[in-house]
Structure 1
Amino acid sequence: MVQVFVFLHVLAAIMMGIYLLLPFLSMRIQALTGQAQFGFLSVLFAVNRTGQMALVIALLSGGYLVSKVGNSVAWMIVSVVLFLALGALTGVLGGAMRKALSDPSGSKVKDHLGKIKSMSVICGILFFLIVGVMKFPF
């Protein structure tokens, strides 16, 4: 049973890898115009939603795996806080994307572009920290 949860956990971690690319992809939105911005942002919105689902899978499978291995309480607290922070910020990012996508002509994208770019960078940093904490537990 542990092997199934390890597989799910690793698969979810791979799916969340998009958060490392998202800052670079969100910088590309500015170079596009109108409908192209809308289309590209629609793809990023779907990718963000997929990453959020992977985050939930990783949190649940990780909870099971932690119950089978003895880790320090400090590591568990840091891990949960980082996961919850990433979940919250990806939700904020999704909200900004949803507002930017409210007009199909792409006219509202520029209004929310700054928030989308900054949230993408913060999410990328948080995911990098999560990978570091998972790879090097203390």
Structure 2
Amino acid sequence: MVNVMLLLHVIGAAGMGFYLVLPFMIGRASKLSGTGQGGLSEGLLVANRMAQYFLILQFLTGGYLISKGDYSVAWMIIIVLLFLGIAAVGGIVTKPLKQIKVSIEQGQSATAHISKARTLSFIVWVMFIAILVLMKYTF
């Protein structure tokens, strides 16, 4: 059972890999035309929703794997806090991504929303990198 859960956990991590490219994709949005920005934001919204589902998979499989391993309490607390941070900020980034499309449809500038989404996605990127490092180097 541990091997099946580990496989699902790795698949979930691959699905969350979207968060590694998100800040860079949002950064390209400012170089696109208005309709391109709207289309990109729609695509990023769908991909973010899928990454959120992979987060659920990570939560379930990670909880099982932690229960079967021998990890320090400090490591477990740090991992859970980073995981919750990714889930929270990954959900928060949805609003500015939606507002990009709305701004474009109303003929307004979406620069502020793009900037906010890029900042939030960079925060998720940092937390995701931290989790990857901590998964490799447990204590």
Residue type at the aligned position of 1:58? Q
- TM-score, normalization: structure 2? 0.93
In structure 1, stretches of 5+ residues that fail to align are none
The residue that corresponds to 2:24 in the other structure is 24
Q: Per-residue displacement from partner, 1:5-38 (whole Å, max 9, x unpaired)? A: 1111000001111111111111100000111110
Equivalent residue number for residue 72 of structure 1 = 72
Partner of 1:97: 97
Q: How many residues align?
A: 138
Q: What secondary structure does 1:137 align onto? A: coil
CA separation in 1, counterparts of 2:87 and 2:65?
Answer: 20
Gaps of 5+ in 2: none
Please provide the CA RMSD for this pair: 1.4
Instruction: Assess if the C-alpha contact under 8 Å between 2:13 and 2:58 holds in 1.
Output: yes
**Does the CA-based 8 Å contact 1:8-1:57 persist in structure 2?**
yes
Q: Give the match for residue 50 of structure 1.
A: 50
Q: How many Å apart are 1:108 and its aligned residue?
A: 5.4
Percent identical: 38
Q: Distance in 1 between matches of 2:110 and 2:59?
A: 32
